[in-house]
Amino acid sequence: MRPPYPHPIIAREGWPFVFATLIAAAALTWYFGWWSIPFWLLVLFMLQFFRDPPREVPDDPRAVLSPADGRIVEVSRAHDPYVKREALKLSVFMNVFNVHSNRSPVDCVVKERWYFPGAFVNAALDKASLENERNALWLRTPEGGDVTCVQVAGLIARRILCYVDAGAGLKRGARFGFIRFGSRVDVYLPLDAQVRASIGDKVYAAESVLAWVKTPNSKPK
């Protein structure tokens, strides 16, 4: 299922950076010729960093999708500090070469949103989940399940962007935010979720299935 795609192939957050580096590179080319090559490489970096391709969303209503591109760095049982419960935690680490657009992992209504200022340690470290700047969303599925999705800033990331608040409805794969320049997204799931992803797996936002959750019509596997 391909959802409506409201943004161009370059994320809207990236255009100021693309234009600024493009103007600088063009001006330096005019004055310094081939010495401007590093700035053209910077333009290319901005284009690849802010790319935001459309994705094919799986039809399975049980599927919990990855909210971000990157690699799985944690799969564990953990305390969800936002919804105050024991949960299954999966973490996706994004380096500067991954797509940084964040997508909803489930069909849901946003029950609550929390923002926490914090540090900027390496997002690949477990302590980043509780020490770094972060934005958390409590998502309630149509079946009444709770999923917590947390955007976490990293060593280089200095800006978390989130475009939804409490009361907003989201479809699986819908774009809800962006993190600039390397970061992490944590997902907390019910304990009875069937985890599919493993540490080290490469995942893609809105396409890769992290786990399955129970629905009224689902059968045990």
Residue 207, pLDDT above cutoff 90:
yes
**Whether residue 220 has pLDDT greater than 70:** no
How high is the pLDDT of residue 127? 63
Say what the alpha-carbon torsion angle 65, 70, 76, 78 is, to the nearest 10 degrees: -80
Q: What is the mean pLDDT of the chain?
A: 85
Distance of CA 187 to the CA centre of its chain: 10
Short-list 59, 51, 8, CA closest to 171: 59
* Confidence label for 158 from pLDDT (cuts 50, 70 and 90): low
- Here the tokens at position 79 are 């305390």
Average pLDDT value for residue range 1-24: 73
**Residue 104 annotated among the catalytic residues of the structure:** no
Write down the catalytic residue from 129, 183, 208, 218: 183
Helices 15-32 and 37-49, axial angle in degrees (round to 10): 170
pLDDT score recorded for residue 121: 59
Tell whether the model's pLDDT for residue 23 goes beyond 80.
Answer: yes
CA dist., res. 75 & res. 62, Å (int): 19
Backbone conformation region of residue 30, classed left if phi is above 0, alpha if psi is from -120 to 50, else beta: alpha
Higher pLDDT, 16 or 195: 195
Over residues 94-151, the pLDDT tens digits come to 888 888 889 999 999 999 999 988 666 555 566 667 777 889 999 999 988 999 999 9
Q: Which residues of 28-55 are buried (b: 16+ CB within 10 A; e: fewer)?
A: beeeeeeebeebbebbeebbebbbbeeb
106-110, 179-183, 188-192, 214-218, range with the lowest pLDDT: 214-218
